Structure formats: C-alpha cells, structure tokens
Amino acid sequence: MELNNDNILNVLLSPGTFLEEPESIDYISNLGNIGLEKLSYEPDNLKEENERLMQQKQELAFSNYKTFIQTAECSREIGKKFFETESNLDIVIAELPKLSETCSQLSVVGAEVDGNRKLNSLVLSKHSDLLRLLELPQLMDSWIKNRKFEEALELSSYVKWLGKKYGHIGIIQSIVSDFEASWEAMLYQLIAQLRYDLQLPECLEVVGYVRRMEVFSDAELRLKFLQTRDFWFQNLLSTIPKTDGYQYVLKVIELTRMHLFKIITQYRAIFSDEESVVPLKNCDVNETTIFYSWLNEKISQFISTLDDPEITKNISSLDSIMIESMNFGQSFSRVGADFRGLIACKFIRIIEQNFEYAIRKVNKKFELEMEKFVISKTSPKEKFKGNYELKPEQPPNCLALFYPLAIYTNGVLTAFNDLRECAPLSIADFVTNTIQESLKFCSKVILQFYKQEQAFDSAEKEKFSIFCGCFQILVNYLQECLHAIFPLDAIAHHLGIPVHQLQKEGLTFIDESVILDQLSHLMPEMKPVM
C-alpha cells in the first residue's frame, strides 16, 4: 500500500511540528526515495554535516566577531530608535487631529490667498481703470474750483449711479462719501455766488445748477434765493453813510428802488408762479406768499428807516424826501405793492415830531431868556397901541421892543417856515394845538416872572403891561400865520364843511382866552383889534 508524502510527514513528525522553510520540506520529502541503506547512514551524515556547519559557524564567528558586536550594537540602537519612534508615533497620533484641523485651515487660507492673488491679478490688469475711478473725487474738486458746474453735475450723476449699483463695495462707498463732501462744497459755492451782485443770466445759471442738485424743494429754493439776494442788498445799504440824514434817505430810496426791482425781475424770471398755482390741499406752502411776504418785509424795512430819530431829525428838506418816497411807493404798483398809504402816515408823524421838537426848543429858549430878562432895561418909545395891522409875512414891530418875545417869535417863524415846505392839511389841528400849548407855557412863564418881581415901580409896571400887550399881539399874529400855512378854504374843502363851521368847532383857531386868562389883569387898557 502506497502512502503519499503528506501522510508520511504526518507520521514522522510529531503533532505541533511546523515546517516553514522549503528546504526542510524538500529534504523530508526526499527521505523516502533514498532507500533503507542510505537512510541508516543518514544520522551520521547529519551529524557530520552538523559538525561541519558548527565548525564553519565558529570560524565565521571568529572571523566576523567585530561584525557581530556591531550588529548587536546596531540592534540595540535600532531597538532604542524603535522605542523612540513608538513614543513619537503616539505623540503624532495624539497631534493628528490638530494637524488635520490646521491643514483644513491652511487649505482655507490657501484658497483665500489664491483668491486674493487672482483678485490682485485682476486689479493689476484693471489698474488704469481703477486709477481713473479713484481720481473722480479729485476731478470733482477741480471742476468745482474752476466753476465747471455742468461737468461736476454730470460726474455727480455718474457717481450716484455707481453708489446705487455697487454701494456694497468699500472703494465705491469711499468715493461716494468723498463726493458728498464735494457736493456740499459745490452747493455752498453756488449759494455764495448769489450773495454778490449778479445779472439776470448769471442768476438763471446759478439757480439752474442748484435746482438740478435737487437739494431744496421749490419753496425752499425760492426762500433761499430771496435770503441770499437780500444778504447782498443789505450789505449794499450798510455802506451808505448816515452823517447826512437827507442824503442818506435819498440814497436808500435810490438803491432800494433800483435793486429791489432788480431782485424782483430776477425772481420772476427764475420762478414762474403760474406753474405753481395748485389747490392748497395739494401743497404745504403757498409759494406765492413767500415772495410777497419777503417784499412786504423789505417795504417795512424801508419805512422803518423813517422811524430812526437820529436820521429824521437831520433831514433838512423833508418835502423832496416825501416826493421821492411817494414816487418810490407808486412805482411798486407795478408789482402790486403800492405802499404810499403807509408812507404818508410816517411822514405826517415825522413832520409832527420835528415841529413839536422845534417848538419845545423855542419854549426852552423863551424860558431861559425870561430868566435873564430885566424889564427896567427896556425903553418903549411910545404908549402901547392895540390896532396893529397883522400880516403873516411881517411880524409886528412892537415885538422887537422885548427881546424874549422877539426871540420866541423868530423861533416859531423858523418852525413855520420849515413846516410850510411840507404842510399836510391833516396836521393843521395838531400844529394849532402845539402852538396853543406853547403860548400857554409862555403865559405861565410871564406870570411867574411877574410874581418873582413884585417890587415893580410904576414905570416898570407900565413897561410890563406893554410887554403883556405885545404878547397878546403875538398870539393874534401867530393865528394869522397858521391860516397862512393852512388856508381856511382848503381846510374846509378837505373836511367837507363850511368855513364858519371851522371857527365854531375851533379847528385851526387858537383859543385866546385860555392863553391870556391868567394875564388879563396885567394887560394894558387898550387891546389890539383883530
């Protein structure tokens, strides 16, 4: 019965024996082929072979002793290195998550760097375009400085479009911000131009630019235009010297008439009120009232000039001022603002104030002269006669006998002469009352003088009696002067009443009894005849 090699191996080898090398397997496989005789010598052969190999091994060990030592040392070093490597490997394994995270971050940064590199490359390729874009604010400032507002407006429109479309880009935001500052500077420069003397074409151009900037509503633009033009107008008026009230008012009238019409013409050429006529419920501001409110304020400002006492008291020729002012007021009827009615009452008040001021000075002068007056030094050449013929153009000669009366008469006549140049009929009663109060004051001063000089001798009493008689003549003379300035026929026609009614009502008539009542006992026996 034949056995295969595997079965023989299983029989010869004890369980658990494991042959790995192919030579061992081949040797054992060949044992079955050598025969019994050779097989009996096989142990000796193996022993000899073992001895021979041991001999060779010893020789090899002796001949390669250093090599073995080095090999052992290398093995030991390799063992150490492997131990260190194992330790480092543990560290590496522990750090691997961090390394992985860092690598991920590096990948992200690398992607950003790559994106920035591509962006920088794109920026470099678009360098000239970007440079022109960055120079836009500088170009805007240059055009504004050189007053090229048309180009500046077009450029600003382009930048606004850029801001709306690419406002999320930082550089565009910066450019838009710079343009806003330039925009304000341009608006300020345009508004500032309106504060100077401009002709109509220039005003149209400047306001056109401001309107295209769309900063103001139409009502606000109207108001801003009037404010700036008024600033220039007020500066013009402020240059007029006030040393001569007459010349000052004439110059104010001239400049106001000239330049207000100029501003009005410019306003009406720029703003069309017809286009803005809409129902009030559709607009917050009645734009027409802006202009007329401003015009009313300018008229009030001119009229207030006549309220300044430092100016009006120095006016030497009020009639010419009033004529110029009336013509000025009438000229404004072309724009629906005839203000002659407002001026008339102002001039009446000025005339009254000036006349009252002049009479107060005369009263004060008379009082001072009476304090220095010495009745004994007067020397009337004849007895008092009361039948003097009174003519307004020639004062009675008897008044020259007593210098206080003469000085008073001259002062009142001077006031009358100033009044005669411009004497409205409406102030006739005021003038009459003022003269009457002045004469009452003089009467009190005369009576006080008499009381202080009780020790009159007969000659002095006669002289004082003549003095009182002359004062009575003065009262009647001033009455004639009043009627010369304010004729009774003219007053009656003005009031629409007959002449006798004037006397009955006491209009323009001095009440002689009120003035002379306290001096009646001092009057001479013969009274003057009217």
Looking at 126-214, list the stretches that DSSP marks H as alpha helix, in order from N- to C-terminal side.
127-134, 136-145, 149-166, 170-193, 200-213
Phi, psi dihedral angles at 284 (to 5 degrees): -85, -25
Q: How many Å separate Cα 329 from the centre of its chain?
A: 32
pLDDT at 276: 42
- In the chain, the amino acid numbered 395 is P
Count, residues in the chain: 530
Positive or negative: CA dihedral 506, 508, 509, 511: positive
Distance (Å, rounded) from C-alpha 402 to C-alpha 404? 6
Report CA Rg, the chain. 64
Q: Nearest CA to 429 among 506, 513, 354, 516?
A: 506
Q: Nearest CA to 158 among 130, 141, 186, 137?
A: 137
pLDDT at 275: 43
| Mean pLDDT split into 10-residue runs, the chain, 530 residues | 54 55 72 74 82 85 82 88 86 86 89 86 76 78 83 83 81 82 86 90 90 87 92 91 83 90 90 52 62 89 78 65 84 83 83 90 93 76 56 76 90 89 85 94 89 75 85 90 89 83 83 86 59
Phi, psi dihedral angles at 272 (to 5 degrees): -100, 110
- Residues with Cβ < 8 Å from 322, sequence gap 6 or more? 343, 347, 422
pTM above 0.85, yes or no: no
pLDDT at 11: 54
pLDDT at 224: 92
- Residues with Cβ < 8 Å from 21, sequence gap 6 or more? none
Residue corresponding to tokens 């500052």: 181
